[in-house]
Amino acid sequence: MSHFSSDFNVVYLRVVQGCNLNCTHCFTLGNKDKYELASLAQITEFLTSIRKNVNPKGAVFYIHGGEPFLAPKEHLRAVNEIIRSTFPDIKINIIPQTNLMFKVDQEFVDFINEEYAGHIGVSWDHGIRFQTTTRALDEDLFLKNFRYLVEKDIEMAVAITVQKHLLTEDPISIVQRLEGAKSIDFEFLTMFDKKTMDLKVNNTEWSKFYHQIVTYYSNNKTTWSLPQVDLLTKSYIENKIYQCKCNCCQHRTFTMNCNGTVGLCPDETYVAPISTVKEMANDWTSFSTKAETLYLRQLGQEINSLCTQCEFFDVCGGNCEPTLFSENDEECPLSKQSIAYQFNNIQIFQNKLQEAKENLVELRERGPSCH
Ligand code: SF4
Ligand code: SF4
């Protein structure tokens, strides 16, 4: 019996290698990566293996790169066709993840409506991505595109990486700029080399920053929700821990890199894939054993002492990556200050959760995504 859950699966497809940007925190080589498209035959094999061996009851498919919209539209259409024909009988969502740093026009809007039911995931990061021309110009391009898509009713889930340059900005002005989005998710940094370690935040400073956003969220009507906050409200009300911070991947997520190597967590898979499409297709037991080893290793990971003594442990579960904590820092990646505020004002956050559920299918069916 496999350790994989089939209730709701998350599948990342790197349909293109190469990007128009070169972000400091990125595990890809960005615009230095050789441009390549994923093979449709390998995508078919990958998805067929998941269908046959896991048989999801529902799933979300994230279309990733690099920058997925560097791929020709016919390629993206063909990928979607494979997804739909492999999973014709279950509820699926297909969501491309883009940096939105290219020409956006009515043709793009039509394509998003036709192929992705009007939904996209958008990344915005401060001080680490605008290296293609001058930063100001690029940031303007992002905001121009963002506003254009809001006006066209495209539903955008915005992802922002928690890293030290972000904290130099005014938190309220960031979320106000992103009014019109459906959600704003703060994603934790994956630290895999010196340059990413150099981006690590001090959690006390991060907590101060984040708390302003959580307070703003509770006191204002916003188009966007904060999935991490809403998920904690859900945990609190239902008295159930949702494993959706750093450790959800090992039992429900599958990632395929552009070159046909595969793994579970999307970040780890880029740096250290555990297998190949070929092996998944020809020897599922072998693939599954490797995946289970990772899962067991994660389950056995020691819980940070801040978490074991934390009053919110029963709601939160303390499953953030150990690298996200710092010695002698009384704050954690999730901001205990914000969680205390949230639970002291639970009625307000319960109402916020209701509004968010109407906006986000993901919150009704599962926790928010990782990336
Ligand atoms: S936009 Fe995304 S894929 Fe491209 S370099 Fe930045 S983080 Fe990497
Ligand atoms: S310290 Fe933070 S991450 Fe750990 S259990 Fe408490 S709230 Fe969760």
Q: Is 1 inside any structural domain?
A: no
Half-sphere exposure of 183 (CA within 13 A, CB side): 29
Q: Is 138 inside any structural domain?
A: yes
pLDDT at 23: 87
More confident residue, 28 or 226: 226
Q: What is the CATH number of the domain that holds 159?
A: 3.20.20.70
% the chain with pLDDT above 70: 92
Ligand nearest to the CA of 17: 1
- The pLDDT tens digits for 182-208 are 999 999 988 888 989 999 999 999 999
Give the angle 10-36-282 at the CA atoms, nearest 5°: 55
Instruction: Look at residue 21 and give its three-state secondary structure.
Output: coil
Q: Is 3 inside any structural domain?
A: no
* 280 C-beta closer than 6 A to ligand 2: no
Mutate which of 12, 15, 21 for ligand 1? The one with the most ligand atoms within 8 Å of its CB, which is 21
Where does ligand 1 bind, in terms of residues with CB under 6 Å?
19, 21-23, 26, 28, 30, 65-67, 99, 123, 129
Q: Is 131 inside any structural domain?
A: yes
Q: Is 246 inside any structural domain?
A: yes
> What is the atom index within ligand 2 of the atom nearest the CA of 318?
5
pLDDT at 362: 55
Give the angle 104-107-110 at the CA atoms, nearest 5°: 110
> What is the atom index within ligand 2 of the atom nearest the CA of 332?
2
Which residue segment(s) compose the domain that 106 sits in?
9-301+335-359
The answer to whether the predicted template modeling score (pTM) of the entire model surpasses 0.85 is yes
- The pLDDT tens digits for 11-45 are 999 999 999 888 888 888 888 889 999 999 999 99
- The pLDDT tens digits for 88-110 are 999 999 999 999 999 999 999 99
Q: Is 4 inside any structural domain?
A: no
Helix axes 336-344, 346-359, angle to 10 degrees: 100
Strand segments (E) across the chain: 9-14, 16-17, 36-37, 58-64, 91-98, 119-123, 155-161, 183-187, 253-256, 261-263, 275-276
What is the spatial distance between Cα 98 and Cα 114, in angstroms, rounded to a whole number? Answer: 17
pLDDT at 370: 39
Q: Is 70 inside any structural domain?
A: yes
Q: Domain count for the chain, please give it.
A: 1
- The pLDDT tens digits for 59-88 are 999 999 999 999 999 999 999 999 999 999
- The pLDDT tens digits for 109-144 are 999 999 999 999 999 998 887 655 555 557 788 999
Q: Is 116 inside any structural domain?
A: yes
